[in-house]
Amino acid sequence: MRKNLIRTTTLAAMAVAAVLSLSACEGGPGSAGTSSSRSAAQSADKGQEAEGGGGGKAVGSGADTSARSESGSPTGSSAAGNGTSASGSGGNGNGHTGRYGQVCGANDLTWNASSETQAGGYILISVKAKPGITCSLPAALPMVAFGSDGTQAGPAEQAVGEEVELSGATTAYAGVNPKTTNTNGGKELNEIITSVSEDDRTDPVSLHTGSITVDKPIVTNWHTTAQNAVPGDGVDSH
């Protein structure tokens, strides 16, 4: 009986010791695993915070850089605008050496001639620049010739006129009096040969006028109104 009690007590003690030993073994690795898991989780959190912070700064810097670049764009646009303005100034500064300074040739113009009855009768020449052309009539007398012998009209005005710019619907006029004498002489023609000026190197234009008598003809300067292109009779000059 006593031996059985001692054996039972011994077995119970061994069982308790085994249980305690098993609990200790399980508690050690478990605690270590739990601690390791917590450390790993904390490290991961710190890593995420570090990555999040760094990424946010990097993106922020990129946005700032982009913003600075964009804020710099208006300066670039302003420079381009100034460049364009400078080009415009250059165009205006060229004045008569630029597009408006291109001297008209006879082939740059649309020509017309009409017979007028005012001041004893004369021929009114009118010219316009052809579509897409802008040019200037020089401050010079138009060249007007008659017949195969090359008779040319003299000046109807004492002073040379002003340069006339032609573009679009702008029209210039010159008046021709084919006969300024009181005699019955002269040659009968029905057309005139004309060009912008004596210096015009383009081919002259032939304009039909109807029957005219030519004797010491005269021509006005180029004018911007038909009223100013009346040549007069020219009798006083002969």
> Which residue type sits at 151?
T
pLDDT digits (tens, 9 = 90+) for 62-92: 434 443 444 444 343 333 333 333 333 333 3
- Give 119's pLDDT tier (boundaries 50, 70, 90): confident
Buried residues in 30-62 as b, exposed as e (16+ CB within 10 A): eeeeeeeeeeeeeeeeeeeeeeeeeeeeeeeee
Paired strand residues for 219:
155, 176
- Write down the pLDDT at residue 120: 87
What pLDDT does residue 232 have? 82
Average pLDDT, the chain: 72
List phi, psi (to 5°) of 148: -75, -20
Residue 213 above 60 pLDDT? yes
Measure CA of the first residue to CA of the last residue in the chain; give whole Å: 178
Strand pairing partners for 55? none
pLDDT digits (tens, 9 = 90+) for 8-42: 555 555 655 554 555 444 444 444 444 444 444 44
Backbone angles phi, psi at 205, to 5 degrees: -110, 140
Q: Which of 195, 185, 187 lies closest to 222 in space, CA to CA? A: 195
Q: What is the DSSP letter of 168?
A: T
Percent above pLDDT 70 for the chain: 55
Structural domain boundaries in the chain: 2-96, 100-237
Hey, which residues does 184 pair with through a beta bridge? Answer: none
Q: Say how far apart CA 231 and CA 120 lie, in whole Å.
A: 10
Q: Select the more confidently predicted residue: 33 or 232.
A: 232
Compute the average pLDDT of residues 184-204: 93
Tokens at residue 191, please? 């057309």
Nearest CA to 127 out of 95, 175, 191, 160 is that of: 175
Inform me whether the pLDDT recorded for 189 exceeds 80: yes
Residue 55 has pLDDT above 80, yes or no: no
Q: Which one has a higher pLDDT value, 36 or 133?
A: 133
pLDDT bin (cut points 50, 70, 90) of residue 95 is: very low
Give the model's pLDDT for residue 211.
92
Residue 21 is predicted with a pLDDT of 52
Compute the distance between CA of residue 166 and CA of residue 80 in angstroms, rounded to an integer.
32
pLDDT band at 234 (very low <50, low <70, confident <90, very high): low
> What pLDDT sits at residue 164?
97
pLDDT, tens only, 149-186: 889 999 999 998 899 999 999 999 999 999 999 998 89
* Alpha carbons within 13 A on the beta-carbon side of 197: 16
Q: Are 179 and 187 in contact (CB under 8 A)?
A: no
Q: Give CA–CA dist 144/140, Å, rounded.
A: 12
pLDDT-based confidence at 101, cuts 50/70/90? Answer: low
pLDDT at residue 160 in the model: 87
Q: Looking at this protein, which amino acid is placed at residue 24?
A: A
